[in-house]
Structure 1
C-alpha cells in the first residue's frame, strides 16, 4: 500500500496538484508543486493562511460515494493524496479534465466580545436561523449555570452531535443533563446545534424539557437542560394502555405547542420521549 502511495504521488511530481479549500465565504485554491513532500502540518498551515481567525484542527475530503473522510495525520493525508491521484488517473483515461482536490476545514472561529464567544461560521448559522448575534449573546450570558458549578456524575449517551452527561448543579442543588458538543464538527452539525439551542431557549412548556443554560469552554459548547430521571421510552418494553394514552396526549400537546411557535418536529420516536 505504501509503495502504491509513493508511486502515485511521484507520477504527479512533474506538474503538481491544486488543492481547493472550501470555506463558508468561498473557495480558495492552493498549488502544491511536490505532493510527495506535503505533510499534514504544512496543509494545516495553508488552511490557516486562508482562514486566519479559525482554529482548524483537521479537514475532510469526499470519497467516490460522497462520504466525508477526516484527515488528522500524515498517514491519513497520504491516503487522501493516493485516492486523489488514482481519481485523476481515471479521469485522464476517460478523457476528462482533472478537478482540484477539494478539502473541507474543520474547526472553530472564536471572537471575544463582551464575554460572548461565537462558534466558527456563526454568522452563517445565524443568518440561516434568522437570529441576531445579540440574541445569541443573551442566551449565552443569561444562563443559570456555568462550568464551575457542575459536578459530572456519569455519561448518559454519545452520538455524532456530542455527549450527554448527568451532572449535579451545586448552586441550584439539582440534577441536570449536560450535552457537550465539540466545535470541531461540520458546518451542517453546527447549524443543527444552533437550531436546537434556539428552540430550547424559546420554549416554555411542561411537555418539553426545560432549558437552563449554555456556555462555551475551550473548544466546546455545553447545553444544560432538565434531567429526566425516567429515561426514554425505548428502554421500556410493554407499556399499559392507560399509561400509553396519557403519553400520547402529552406528546400531542408538546407538538401543538411547538407548532404554535412555527416549529415542526419531524423526529418523533421513543428515544426522544
Structure 2
C-alpha cells in the first residue's frame, strides 16, 4: 500500500525543530542526509535516529532502514488517522558533531497597542528568506540527483519541504501610530474581504504584501484573532506564502505576507492544462502540508493561490482563524461560491470540503468560467444550485481524461465519495505533472503578464 505524505520533524541539539513534508516512497536516505545538511550546515552527518514504541533510539543508515522507520511509524497510526490525513510528525534526531550557525535572518516586531502604555509585542516572528529558484529548462522526472535540483525544491517529485524555526534575536519595530517603517507602494487588488497593497518595510528593505480588512470588533475579539493567526507561523513552507505578522490598528487588521510578483491565479484563467497541472502539484503539496499539521485552509479559491515569475505557486489568505472567519462573515454580506455542499448546509466538515474547493477552483482555472450560474445579486440562488443541481463536468473534448477524472472526483456531492489525501497524491494527472519543471510555469506566467499589461495599456 502506498504511504501518504506526512511531516518529519528534524530535532537539532538546540531543540529548534525543522519540519519536512515527505512522500515516503519517493525519497532516499541520501536525500534525507542532504536535507539535514541544509538544516545543520558545517556538520558531518552520516546517520539519524528515531524512537520506537518503547522509546528506544533506532539508528538509520540506509534506504532499507529508513523504509523500516516509515513502516514502524505507520503501524502506530489508526486507519482513520491515515485515511483523514491527520498524521502526527515523526521526530528524527540527526547525529551531528558541530553546532549549526545562524544564517541570513531578519525579524519583524509589531506593537499591537499603540494607544496604551508601552508594552511588549504579542510575538516576534522570525523569517529566513527562501533561496531563489531559477526555472529549469528541462523536465526532471522521478527523483533528481541532489546536485541537479536542491532537495528543498517543492516542485520536484518526492522532494522535501524544508521549514525554518522561529528564533528571537533583535528585530525592527513597527510604530503603528504613523507607520513610518511601512511604506505603501501601490494597491494590488481588493474585494469584499479587504484591500491588498504592495509595501516596503524600509529598515530591512523587504517588499511584502499587506492585506487590510476593516473589522468592527472589540478588543477581546482582536486579541483572539491575533492569537489564532499565530497558527500561520507553523506554515513555513516553499508552497505556503511566507507570513510576517498580523496586527490591529483603528479597527483594521493588517496581515503582512510574502510578496508574489505574479499575483493571484484568478486573473490568468483559462490556464493551459500542462501549466495548470504543474500548478496543481504545488497546490496539493501545500494542502497536504497544512493537513499534516491538522490545519484547514477554509478558503481555497483561485484568488487565494499566488504565483511569481520564478514559477513558484503558493497558497495564501488562510481562514485558519475561526474568529477572523466569523468576523469577516458578519462584516461582509455574501457567500463563498467555493464552499462544499456540507459547509453551505451548516454541517460538520473537514478535509473533504477542502477537496471540493480544490476541484471547483481547478475547473474555473481550466475553463476560465465558474462552473455554476452565478448572479451576485442573488447569492442564495447559487448556494441552492450547488446543493441541488447536478454537478458540472469538464468536457472530454477539451481536456485529458485524467484531468476530467480528477476534477469530477473532487466535486462529488457526498464528502465520502471525493478523493482522499492519498488519492490526490497518487492520482495519474498529478503524477504526470510532478516533474519539477517550473520553467513551464515561469515562462507562461511571464508571457501572460506581458499580454495582460499590453491589453491594459491599449484600453
Task: Tell me if TM exceeds 0.5.
Answer: no
Which structure's residues are more often strand, by fraction? 1
**Structure ID, larger Rg:** 1
TM-score by length of 2: 0.28
Pick 1 or 2: higher relative contact order, CA cutoff 8 A, min separation 6: 2
TM-score, normalising length from structure 1?
Answer: 0.44
